[in-house]
Homo-oligomer: A and B are copies of this chain.
């Protein structure tokens, strides 16, 4: 590729799948301005990686491109020994702001906010306020479209949009035009909760205040897009039975990846060992009627599948706040009906399968094939019902005891249901086949 053949857009597109060497080579091909564009488009993890690959002396110009909230995110991405060195590269004001931001948890409102926002006094005239906002613009305030009205003690009194100021009579004062007591969030509110407030109220920005009501910064809707995406990724990875990765697939090292995946796999494996115990318990039944063993995978997987479905559905509804903890009984009622219906339906298919194979001569289930078919049908009703109920109630139980409902992954539910499925199946079989096959 010749130097002129790559744009910063193309490079940013390809970024996630490039190695660090390719990234450095690629950015060296860009003009300074294009390289800066590229840098600003990267996420903080990628910015940190690139920055640390530069000579220490070169880092200053790059980190100073960033507003305080982004600089804080970047600093959080580097090894703790390197942080002090990076902070020194910042100008005094930004360093103070970044250090303050670093005190917040990354996933709290305080860790998300930008400490630079447009501020006004309540007794300013509308005209003075507009002039004042135009001046604040030059001081790198991220947005002047919403201005926050503070008293002398920095307490939040109200909010006013630039639009409201521009359409108001110039003789009025800010206090007359502002919306008093606007919605605000405490510094330590979890980012997921913050994102729900944005969605519910269709907000563009939310002020963050401390315990005394003093305004500390603003969270903007464009930060929330990232939060929503991040939280969904975490939930999806948990639902896939692994720890949340916290970084793109190709950027996670092999050892870290094995640890994040192996932990859950081992736990599930140890849980699933109970199936061997359960099967051992029914050893004599299997010896007498080997035909019963044929259907074990089919029957227990149906329980697992219906359970995974139900769990996924409830986990997402809880995350979106379409369901609350107190709705569990209503869900139980619905899932009872769903489980019975789905179980009866799958059971009917299973029944037909045995009958068809027998009559078509594909397989000989022996003289009692009708009883075998009935065992399959009845077990499926029980197993699918149990799977559906377990899958739908597990997320409620997890939330109730303070865990993330998304932990009720498809494999977790399947493991839970497999053992019970074996017991249900063989109990139904002894009931129906006693005196004939068993």
Q: Does A283 contact B (CB under 8 A)?
A: yes
Residues of B within 8 A of A85 (CB): none
Assess A41 versus B414: contact at CB under 8 Å? Given A249-B322, A297-B275, A338-B261. Answer: no
Q: Is the CB of B222 within 8 A of A203?
A: yes
Q: Does A174 contact B (CB under 8 A)?
A: no
Assess A265 versus B338: contact at CB under 8 Å? Given A222-B202, A410-B240. Answer: no
Assess A309 versus B265: contact at CB under 8 Å? Given A222-B202, A240-B410, A272-B301. Answer: yes
SS class of chain A's interface: helix, strand, loop or mixed?
Answer: helix
Q: Is the CB of B316 within 8 A of A298?
A: no
Top 10 nearest A-B pairs (CB, nearest first) are: A240-B312, A232-B232, A410-B410, A275-B297, A248-B322, A305-B411, A249-B317, A279-B294, A293-B293, A16-B322
Interface size on A, as a range, is: 35 or more
Residues of B within 8 A of A341 (CB): 258, 262
Q: Is the CB of A232 within 8 A of B237?
A: no
Q: Does A193 contact B (CB under 8 A)?
A: no
* Residue from the list B232, B311, B314 in contact with A228, Cβ < 8 A: B232
Residues of B within 8 A of A202 (CB): 40-41, 222
Q: Does A415 contact B (CB under 8 A)?
A: yes
A312 to B410, CA, bound (A): 11
Assess A313 versus B240: contact at CB under 8 Å? Given A248-B322, A294-B283. Answer: yes
Q: Is the CB of A308 within 8 A of B410?
A: yes
Q: Does A96 contact B (CB under 8 A)?
A: no
Residues of B within 8 A of A241 (CB): 305, 308-309, 312, 410
Residues of B within 8 A of A226 (CB): 199
Residues of B within 8 A of A349 (CB): 266, 269-270
Residues of B within 8 A of A232 (CB): 228-229, 232, 235-236
Q: Is the CB of B167 within 8 A of A236?
A: no
Please tell me which stretch of A54-62, A137-145, A397-405 contacts chain B, meaning at least 4 of its Cβ atoms lie within 8 angstroms of it: A137-145
Q: Does A221 contact B (CB under 8 A)?
A: yes
Q: Is the CB of A242 within 8 A of B313?
A: yes
Q: Is the CB of A240 within 8 A of B16?
A: no
Between-chain CB contacts (< 8 Å), 28 pairs = A12-B200, A17-B327, A17-B330, A41-B200, A133-B166, A134-B166, A198-B225, A199-B229, A225-B225, A228-B229, A232-B236, A233-B320, A240-B313, A242-B309, A249-B322, A254-B334, A258-B342, A265-B342, A265-B345, A269-B302, A275-B297, A275-B298, A277-B363, A286-B290, A286-B293, A290-B290, A301-B411, A308-B409
A40 to B203, CA, bound (A): 12
Residues of B within 8 A of A296 (CB): 279, 293, 296-297
Q: Is the CB of A323 within 8 A of B17?
A: yes
Q: Does A73 contact B (CB under 8 A)?
A: no
Q: Does A100 contact B (CB under 8 A)?
A: no
A309 to B213, CA, bound (A): 45
